[in-house]
């Protein structure tokens, strides 16, 4: 008698924000490009499963459930889909991130609904403890490599690092930190690579949830007093959510972050080139090496290979 042996299944977790998708044709098109290219280049071993997590409202979830089977038709790997309700995640997040919201959100107040833009910051407190690693991905991406290879970057984290993230490829933090830079001539804060600290982009992130839970330093930085202190020290006022938080704490504690090669989040937005930073733009925008993922940020069209 032959018995079915389940064997050891290995799960690869990826999460995407997926809200108001039913209301935006543009977002639907980005979603299609992302999922089709992920399916096209994705390869996993036998016994491995890619788990796609979507944070959605009800209408977006219905649209996602309807579109995904078609988009992943060519996938030569096993996958599962999990939808998370944006309202219940927001409820859990708000008390943790409320204090930091005013430093990293647009507008004056800390709006309840903006808490979800800080999901990555406190994901380790929200998700079940048996979830140890997850990658968070934007929808405006086009994959040119196997997404499984991205997960291998977890194995290159230096000791003490809790998040893998690529640098920001525009001089946006040169701008945000202007006052600190004026008061601290010669600082690396906001300077271009390879010597400077240009800040981070949150379009592709590796969250080592286990390391985030275990890091005393990281969890201290979530305390409201610490965030306020650093924001004051750096004269920081941003509006880009999690990416601003990571960029600011990364200036003080770069060892918390494992630098992801720029080819894993090749941002295409050139907005700051035409808004006062044309002279230094290329120093930030330049990304040598292979492009694994294009990021069409600020609605920038992605080249057809
Ligand atoms: N997003 C969403 N609904 C929206 C707007 C954004 O779910 O109405 C998600 C989506 O995953 C998107 C991410 O939030 O990729 C970040 O937004 P976007 O990529 O437009 O920002 P950018 O990269 O241009 O700064
Ligand atoms: Mn994006």
Backbone angles phi, psi at 88, to 5 degrees: -75, -30
3-state secondary structure (DSSP) of residue 12: strand
| Contact indicator for 189, 174 with CB cutoff of 8 Å | no
- Helix axis angle, 86-104 relative to 119-126, nearest 10°? 130
Q: What is the ipTM of this complex?
A: 0.99
| Contact indicator for 20, 55 with CB cutoff of 8 Å | no
Q: Cβ of 236: how many Cβ atoms within 10 Å?
A: 21
Distance between Cα 17 and ligand 1 center (Å): 7
What is the per-residue pLDDT across 85-117, written as a single tens digit (0 to 9) for each? Answer: 999 999 999 999 999 999 999 876 668 889 999
Residue 35 burial by CB count (10 A; 0-12/13-18/19+): exposed, middle or buried?
buried
Q: How far apart are CA 57 and CA 165, in angstroms?
A: 27
Which ligand is the nearest neighbour of the Cα of 34?
1
User: What is the full per-residue pLDDT of the chain (305 aa) written as tens digits?
Assistant: 455 566 799 999 999 999 999 999 999 999 999 999 999 999 999 999 999 999 999 999 999 999 999 999 999 999 999 999 999 999 999 999 999 999 999 876 668 889 999 999 999 999 999 999 999 999 999 999 999 999 999 999 999 999 999 999 999 999 999 999 999 999 999 999 999 999 999 999 999 999 999 999 999 999 999 999 999 999 999 999 999 999 999 999 999 999 999 999 999 999 999 999 999 999 999 999 899 999 999 999 999 97
Q: How far apart are CA 60 and CA 24, in angstroms?
A: 10
Which ligand is the nearest neighbour of the Cα of 138?
1
3-state secondary structure (DSSP) of residue 38: helix
What is the per-residue pLDDT across 181-208, written as a single tens digit (0 to 9) for each? Answer: 999 999 999 999 999 999 999 999 999 9
Distance between Cα 204 and ligand 2 center (Å): 9
Atom of ligand 1 nearest to the CA of 295: 23
Q: How far apart are CA 205 and CA 176, in angstroms?
A: 22
Ligand 1 site residues (CB inside 6 A) read 16-20, 24, 27, 138-140, 203, 297-298
């Amino acid at each position: 008698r032959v018995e079915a042996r389940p064997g050891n299944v290995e799960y690869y977790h990826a999460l995407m924000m997926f809200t108001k998708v039913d209301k935006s044709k543009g977002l639907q098109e980005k979603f299609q490009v992302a999922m089709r290219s992920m399916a096209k280049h994705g390869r996993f071993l036998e016994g491995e499963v890619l788990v796609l997590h979507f944070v959605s409202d009800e209408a977006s979830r219905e649209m996602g459930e309807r579109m995904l089977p078609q988009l992943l038709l060519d996938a030569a790997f096993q996958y599962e889909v999990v939808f998370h309700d944006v309202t219940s995640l927001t409820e859990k997040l708000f008390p943790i991130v409320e204090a930091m919201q005013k430093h990293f959100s647009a507008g004056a107040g800390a709006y309840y609904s903006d808490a979800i833009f800080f999901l990555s910051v406190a994901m380790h407190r929200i998700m079940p403890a048996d979830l140890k690693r997850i990658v968070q991905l934007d929808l405006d991406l086009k994959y040119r490599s196997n997404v499984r290879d991205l997960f291998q970057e977890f194995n290159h984290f230096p000791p003490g690092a809790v998040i893998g993230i690529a640098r920001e490829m525009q001089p946006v933090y040169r701008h945000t930190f202007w006052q600190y830079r004026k008061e601290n001539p010669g600082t690396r804060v906001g300077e271009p690579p390879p010597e400077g600290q240009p800040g981070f982009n949150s379009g592709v992130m590796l969250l080592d949830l286990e390391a985030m839970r275990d890091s005393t330093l990281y969890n201290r930085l979530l305390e409201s007093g610490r965030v306020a202190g650093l924001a004051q020290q750096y004269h920081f006022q941003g509006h880009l959510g999690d990416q601003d938080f990571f960029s600011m704490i990364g200036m003080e504690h770069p060892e918390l972050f494992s630098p992801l090669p720029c080819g894993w989040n090749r941002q295409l937005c050139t907005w700051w080139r035409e808004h006062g930073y044309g002279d230094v733009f290329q120093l930030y925008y330049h990304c040598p090496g292979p492009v694994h993922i294009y990021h069409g940020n600020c609605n920038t069209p992605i080249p057809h290979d």
